[in-house]
Amino acid sequence: MARRKKIYEGKAKTLFEGPEPGTIVQYFKDDATAFNAEKHDIIEGKGVLNNILSEYFMQGLGQIGVPTHFLKRLNMREQLVRSCEIIPLEIIVRNYAAGTVCKRLGLEEGTQMPRPIVEYCYKDDSLGDPLVSEEHIAAFGWASQQDMEDILSLALRVNDFMSGVFYAVGIRLVDFKIEIGRVYNGDFQRLVVADEISPDSCRLWDIETGRKLDKDVFRRDLGSLTDAYTEVARRLGVMPNNPPAAGKPTLVN
């Protein structure tokens, strides 16, 4: 079989050239990193769970008319996505205070935000993804005014959808990060939700007990990350048939 061309290797995913022009294969690795990759571990089965969970959210968003880069899941670790130009911003939506906003504003963890708050960080690991304002984004040309309006609207629609889906299974969506890509069609561009949506990029707390079911389990050594992600997948009814296992991808029909 011909070897695929690797396009990019990130901390949690590797991207390969897809079978058709304009497509990319996104491979979910078991690597877990935190604090700008200062902390690193291999968590067996994480890639399988994130692949399936991201498929679930991207498909759900597609069904309510939110455009995403997702095309189809190929196997337990890979999905086919539309190639897009990633806007160099991390778009963060916060419903409750946690993480960096607590330090920045002196808020107690768990404080409910007066309304969902959208923040933008400049995607640059060497700088630690710093928080930026819309002024920076406009002045440095990372996104236009129209893009910013569309990004805000997409972020809030994703938040409404995901908050509802999680609430229905007893999980509070505290905050999350998404990335947005541009897809070109001739002279026209449209924005799509790209990258992944998984417990790696969200904060998820059990509504009853407050148990953390997201990457904070790894960041703060709170137990088994696989157990936490498995619990999320189980509640959403998307557990893979076979328990997650590391190793080579297997084809599903």
| Smallest distance, ligand 5GP to C-beta of residue 95, A | 11
Closest approach of ligand 5GP to the CB of residue 82, in Å: 20
Cite the DSSP H helix spans in the chain: 46-63, 100-105, 134-139, 145-167, 216-219, 225-236
- Give the closest residue to 85 by CA, choosing from 182, 162, 20: 182
> Segment 174-203, which members bind ligand 5GP (CB under 6 A)?
175-177, 200-203
117 — phi, psi (to 5°)?
A: -110, 130
Residues 100-119 that bind ligand 5GP (CB under 6 A): 100-101
Q: In angstroms, rounded to a whole number, what is the distance separating the alpha carbons of residues 215 and 200?
A: 5
Binding residues for ligand 5GP, total number by CB under 6 A: 15
- Name which of 31 and 147 has its Cβ closer to ligand 5GP: 31
Site for ligand 5GP in 126-185 (CB under 6 A): 129, 175-177
CB of 156 to ligand 5GP, least distance (A): 15
Our finding on whether 31 is near ligand 5GP (CB under 6 A) is: no
Output the smallest distance, CB 233 to ligand 5GP, in A.
17
Strand-pair partners of 193: 68, 180
Closest CB to ligand 5GP among 16 and 176?
A: 176
The CB density around residue 231, as the number of other CB atoms within 10 Å, is 19
Interface of this chain with ligand 5GP, residues 204 to 233, rule: CB under 6 A: 215
Burial class (CB in 10 A: 0-12, 13-18, 19+), 47: buried
Q: How many CA atoms lie within 13 A of 199 on its CB side?
A: 32
Interacting residues toward ligand 5GP by CB under 6 A: 90, 92, 98-101, 129, 175-177, 200-203, 215
